Amino acid sequence: MTFVAGLDDADFPGHGLQDPVLLDEEREKLSPGLPTTADSLRERLYSMASLLASLRGRVILSFPAYDILEDRVSFPSSLVLQVHRLLAGDGRRDYASLDAAIAASAEEAGHPDPAGFLTNVSKTALDGTEWWLSRLAGQDRPPDAQPAVRSRFPALAAGIKAEEARAGDTLSEYEGIVQIEGRLYDPLVNHRLEVSASRLESLVKCPFGYFLKYVLGIEAPEEIELDRSRWLDPMDRGSLIHEILSDFMAKVVAAGERPDPLRHGPLMEEVADRAIDVWKRKIPPPSPGIFEKERQDISAALHVFFRVESARAANVRPFAFEKAFAGVSVDVEGGGSFLLKGRIDRIDRMGEETFRILDYKTGSPKPYEDLKAFGKGRVIQHALYAVAVEKVLAAEGLAREPRVTESGYSFPTRRGEGREVLVREFDRRAFRALLRHILALISGGFFVTSLKDECTYCDFSPVCGGRPAETKRKIKANATIFEVLKRIGSYD
């Protein structure tokens, strides 16, 4: 009898990822004798088929039904499916048929569940540890099991306590209601702490996520999986487009000209080719085809930018690009201030003392479509940058009494269709009051989860468990906390 274990689709014959040092295309150019990824997969299948053909007696094939590290279900290899087809004498059998056959066989043997260390049947445990786990986790566990676990395992006891607190009706420290040291974490108290606009926006979007990232210092694991279907991820692609637009506009403005597709087309291509070449050396594309497709997408975005710029009013004159600032004091209603830092993509001069600021976005304009002034506290970068620009220009002597009359966001890509979302002359006093309410979340230690289901795109959803519904359930029992959130949400 021969046992062949580990026949899941991830391990045999494998996913066929190319050798990162020497890609298939490069191998074929060097020598037809060098094996490619497809050759390696075929060789594995051939070797396994030869091995199985040489065996005598009975062969048992098995595969792991669950990946513990990835926390997901595993699936059998195509080899197991092919064996199932041969046994059934039917080459049309699929994975659904294989699953049904395995389930029927397991039921007939009296073991309907996959074998494992969390089995509900203690008789199938492989050793003493698994037997204890089956007893503690199964339906027939002793009534005193949990107290025994609490007394012997303090870490598990703390976890059980947290789950019980979360299941209650009152928000607790396990859901972000804590008291923090203002001298460390409160920008109104710690005047050495500089915050960014995105940081304050994240506080409103999900205070609990803010607490994890900026108070506890937790960071999501770096994504190391290579997506071979694209060259640049959205963040890198946005950075590249920002770089091209900034460099191009700086050259045009330095020449005292306005962007014109006919006159400046070659210059844009030159700037873009140079920047793309640098990024290509830094991040090699997975294939020439994918690179060319993304290069064409970037080129299309630049054409949209040209169309928008050529239609600008004559009184709009580009003034500065990629303007970085730090340590700018921003006042809040009722007294007090905090320090702001950031980088403004573009500043335009509208008049002698009036300006407009724009932040380039390469994503969708949908989150900004209904923006009136402050986006319920979730979109305030334009207002913060307006206040900062006025102070920076005055401090640098670039204007005597500068005033930002328009601030907003530009979407110079095919996805954004060249749209611009602008807020004109927002209420400064109302904005200072909004900032006071936002920072009250920090001073009050009100780091609850978001009330909107935005956990799909959150790095910390595995930590909080995606609990907006649970947070909403406890609103009545925590009126003080939610009154602050309600006030912030009233600032459209």
| pLDDT one-digit tens code per residue, 41-55 | 888 888 888 888 898
CATH of the domain at 6: 3.40.50.300
**Between the ranges 145-149, 337-341, 342-346, where is the mean pLDDT highest?**
337-341
244 and 295 fall within a common domain: yes
85 and 54 fall within a common domain: yes
pLDDT of residue 142: 64
Instruction: Report the domain count for the chain.
Output: 3
Which helix (H) or strand (E) covers residue 348, if one does?
Answer: strand 337-349
Whether 473 maps to a domain, the answer reads no
Q: Is 326 helix (H, G, I), strand (E, B) or coil?
A: strand
- The one-letter code for the residue type at 246 is S
Whether 223 has a pLDDT exceeding 70, the answer reads no
Give CA–CA dist 245/249, Å, rounded.
6
pLDDT of residue 226: 62
Predicted confidence (pLDDT) per residue in 204-219, tens digit: 988 988 999 999 998 8
Instruction: Write out the two tokens for 477.
Output: 């029992």
Q: What pTM, to 2 d.p., does this model score?
A: 0.67
Least confident of 29-43, 122-136, 365-379: 122-136
Predicted confidence (pLDDT) per residue in 415-451, tens digit: 778 888 999 989 999 999 999 999 999 999 998 887 7
Give CA–CA dist 290/296, Å, rounded.
10
Where does the pLDDT of residue 388 fall: very low under 50, low under 70, confident under 90, or very high at 90 and above?
very high
Where does the pLDDT of residue 460 fall: very low under 50, low under 70, confident under 90, or very high at 90 and above?
confident
Phi, psi of 139 (to 5 degrees): -70, -25
140 and 99 fall within a common domain: no
Phi, psi of 159 (to 5 degrees): -65, -40
Instruction: Write out the two tokens for 67.
Output: 């990946």
Instruction: Write out the two tokens for 62.
Output: 């098995």
Instruction: Write out the two tokens for 412.
Output: 């110079």
- On the 0-12 / 13-18 / 19+ scale of CB atoms within 10 A, 372 is exposed
Whether 28 maps to a domain, the answer reads yes
- 241-276 as b/e, with b when 16 or more CB fall inside 10 Å? bbbbbbbbbeebbeeeebbeeeebeebbeebbeebb
Give the HSE-up count for residue 386: Cα atoms under 13 Å, Cβ half-sphere: 25
**Contact (CB, 8 A) for 380 and 199:** no
- On the 0-12 / 13-18 / 19+ scale of CB atoms within 10 A, 71 is exposed
Give CA–CA dist 102/96, Å, rounded.
10
pLDDT of residue 224: 57
Whether 79 maps to a domain, the answer reads yes
Give CA–CA dist 448/399, Å, rounded.
43
20 and 103 fall within a common domain: yes
Question: Which carries the bigger pLDDT value, residue 227 or residue 261?
Answer: 261
Beta bridge pairs of residue 330: 338
Give CA–CA dist 140/134, Å, rounded.
9
Predicted confidence (pLDDT) per residue in 86-140, tens digit: 888 988 888 888 888 888 888 887 776 666 655 555 556 667 777 777 666 666 6
The mean pLDDT value for 318-342 works out to 92
130 and 80 fall within a common domain: no
Whether 354 maps to a domain, the answer reads no
Cis peptide leading into residue 13 (ω within 30°): yes
Please work out, in degrees rounded to the nearest 5, the angle formed at the alpha carbon of residue 141 by the alpha carbons of 139 and 144. Answer: 140
Whether 251 maps to a domain, the answer reads yes
- The one-letter code for the residue type at 423 is V
Whether 170 has a pLDDT exceeding 60, the answer reads yes
The percent of residues in the chain predicted with pLDDT above 70, rounded, is 91
Whether 455 has a pLDDT exceeding 70, the answer reads no
pLDDT of residue 141: 62
Beta bridge pairs of residue 423: 407
Whether 289 maps to a domain, the answer reads yes
pLDDT of residue 1: 92
Q: Is 191 helix (H, G, I), strand (E, B) or coil?
A: coil
160 and 239 fall within a common domain: no
pLDDT of residue 139: 61
15 and 84 fall within a common domain: yes
- The closest of 460, 470, 453 to 216, measured between CA atoms, is 460
Predicted confidence (pLDDT) per residue in 244-299, tens digit: 988 888 888 888 888 887 888 889 899 999 999 999 998 888 888 888 988 988 88
Whether 30 maps to a domain, the answer reads yes
Whether 344 maps to a domain, the answer reads no
- On the 0-12 / 13-18 / 19+ scale of CB atoms within 10 A, 53 is exposed
User: Domain range spanning residue 82?
Assistant: 2-109
104 and 142 fall within a common domain: no
pLDDT of residue 112: 67
68 and 133 fall within a common domain: no
Residue partners of 457: CB distance under 8 A and separation at least 6: none
What's the mean per-residue pLDDT of the chain? 85
38 and 135 fall within a common domain: no
96 and 148 fall within a common domain: no
pLDDT of residue 392: 94
**Contact (CB, 8 A) for 431 and 378:** no
Q: Is 3 helix (H, G, I), strand (E, B) or coil?
A: strand
133 and 97 fall within a common domain: no
